Structure 1
């Protein structure tokens, strides 16, 4: 998996570059944390599927 990706940022209001800040393997698949390069908004992807807003959960 790449260390950066383009993704919609709800804080910046458009598509921004996100950097992978951490990852680990779980029984559900790979959990990876991503941060916006512009505003530091973060979210979590589990196995490239569901994304979780990490500003609302301590993950």
Structure 2
């Protein structure tokens, strides 16, 4: 899995490379934590489902 991906940050309202800060494997799939380096906004993704605001 990549260590960064380009995403539009809901807090900055700009596209930034989010960096993966942690990852682990659960019974539901892989859990990854992602963080914006500009404002420190973070979200969690489990098996492709994220808490990122739409």
The two structures share one fold, judged by TM-score above 0.5:
yes
- 1:57 corresponds in structure 2 to none
Q: For the residues of structure 1 that align with 2:14 and 2:50, how far apart are their CA atoms?
A: 17
Paired positions, count: 52
Report 1 or 2 for greater relative contact order, CA contacts < 8 Å, sequence distance ≥ 6: 2
TM-score normalised by the chain length of structure 1: 0.81
- Structure 2 residues without counterparts, runs of 5 or longer: none
Note the aligned Cα RMSD (angstroms): 1.0
- Structure 1 residues without counterparts, runs of 5 or longer: 54-59
Shift of 1:8: 1.5
Instruction: Provide runs of 4+ in structure 1 moved above 2 Å.
Output: none
TM-score normalised by the chain length of structure 2: 0.88
Establish whether residue 30 from structure 1 lines up as the match of residue 30 from structure 2.
Answer: yes
